[in-house]
């Protein structure tokens, strides 16, 4: 026994649209409950489909939280390419290490051309842990023995162009550098002006010579030695550590090879005189 009468679903209803003052019927609709439900469901489906098309097929989809936009996709593609490049680079280094280990062990090396067709990465993955460990040990021994990359063995030396040279003395250059006739630069300045170290270093000579008078020499890194001659007075002694820019002497006119107050400045690299004007501003 049902709660509702089946005939109620087939009853016809009328919805009229009339003017308020004249009560003139403008339009009316006739429908049943079943037709109303069908039209309602159809309208809901149509509106949902229209909303989906607008969001999915127009730029409005980028407003949906979490939806990847064009910038995100470009970034993902760029990252994928970088990862692929890194994998190829790691493969080349792994192949290099394997070949180096084989060379040191006196074995036949692997041809890169033959491996490219057979996927080098897959080949290297098939190597046993013992083979990889042996190749890594041989590589480490070779690099350590060569000394080119041994950070703990020695400090990396900077080129001269990468060093910052202080000016030993502000003055007027009266004689420039000549590798044969005059391997130094002469700088005139008032007597008693401070002479400064061009780089950090250690005093290896501080004394008197007949020709150069009071002379002081500093040993620097990278095989550099600087000489400061004809001084009036020396302010440091042999063995002292000095910093770049520190005063080490006073300008004078001592020695048999001078006639006025000036500094004779020399710069030597691995036993060869070099032009100080290339590294210092006077």
**81-94 as b/e: b if 16+ CB within 10 A:** eeeeeeeeeebeeb
The per-residue pLDDT string of the chain (282 residues; one tens digit each, 9 = 90 and over) reads: 445 566 667 778 778 888 877 778 778 777 777 888 888 899 899 999 988 888 777 777 666 666 666 666 677 777 777 787 777 777 777 777 777 777 666 666 665 555 554 554 555 555 555 665 666 666 566 555 544 444 444 444 556 777 889 999 999 999 999 988 899 999 999 999 999 999 999 999 999 999 999 999 999 988 899 999 999 999 999 999 999 999 999 999 999 989 899 999 999 998 899 999 999 887
Match domain 161-278 to its CATH number in 3.40.50.1980, 2.20.25.10, 2.70.70.10, 1.20.1070.10: 2.70.70.10
Extended strands (E) in the chain: 13-18, 25-31, 172-175, 185-188, 194-196, 201-209, 213-219, 224-234, 241-242, 247-251, 262-269, 272-274
Q: Which two tokens stand for residue 107?
A: 């074995």
pTM attached to this predicted model: 0.47
Q: Which residue, among 231, 224, 246, 250, has the nearest Cα to 167 in the 3D structure?
A: 246
Helix %, strand %, coil % of the chain (to 5): 35, 25, 35
**What are the extents of the domains in the chain?**
6-56, 71-146, 161-278
How many residues are there in the chain? 282
- pLDDT for res 151: 41
Residues 6+ apart with CB under 8 A from 16: 25, 27, 28
- pLDDT for res 153: 41
- pLDDT for res 2: 47
- pLDDT for res 113: 53
């Amino acid at each position: 026994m049902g709660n509702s009468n089946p005939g109620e679903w087939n009853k016809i209803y009328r919805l009229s649209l009339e003017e308020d003052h004249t009560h003139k019927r403008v339009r009316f609709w006739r429908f049943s409950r079943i037709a109303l439900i069908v039209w309602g469901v159809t309208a809901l489906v149509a509106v949902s489909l229209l909303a989906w098309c607008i969001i999915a097929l127009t730029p409005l989809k980028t407003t949906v939280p979490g939806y990847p936009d064009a910038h995100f996709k470009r970034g993902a593609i760029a990252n994928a390419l970088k990862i692929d490049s890194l994998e190829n680079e790691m493969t080349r280094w792994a192949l290099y290490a394997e070949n180096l280990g084989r060379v040191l062990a006196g074995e036949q090396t692997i041809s890169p051309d033959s491996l490219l067709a057979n996927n080098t990465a897959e080949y290297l993955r098939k190597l046993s842990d013992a083979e990889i460990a042996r190749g890594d040990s041989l590589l480490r021994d070779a690099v350590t023995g060569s000394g080119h990359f041994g950070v703990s063995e020695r400090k990396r030396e900077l080129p001269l162009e990468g060093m910052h040279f202080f000016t030993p003395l502000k003055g007027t250059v009266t004689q420039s550098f000549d590798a044969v006739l005059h391997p130094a630069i002469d700088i005139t300045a008032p007597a008693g002006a401070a002479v400064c170290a061009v780089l950090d270093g250690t005093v290896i000579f501080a004394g008197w010579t007949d020709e150069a008078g009071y002379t002081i020499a500093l040993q620097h890194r990278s095989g550099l030695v600087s000489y400061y001659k004809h001084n009036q007075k020396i302010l440091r002694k042999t063995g002292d550590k000095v910093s770049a820019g520190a005063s080490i002497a006073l300008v004078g006119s001592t020695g048999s090879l001078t006639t006025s107050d000036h500094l004779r400045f020399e710069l030597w690299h691995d036993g060869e005189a070099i032009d100080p004007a290339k590294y210092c501003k006077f």
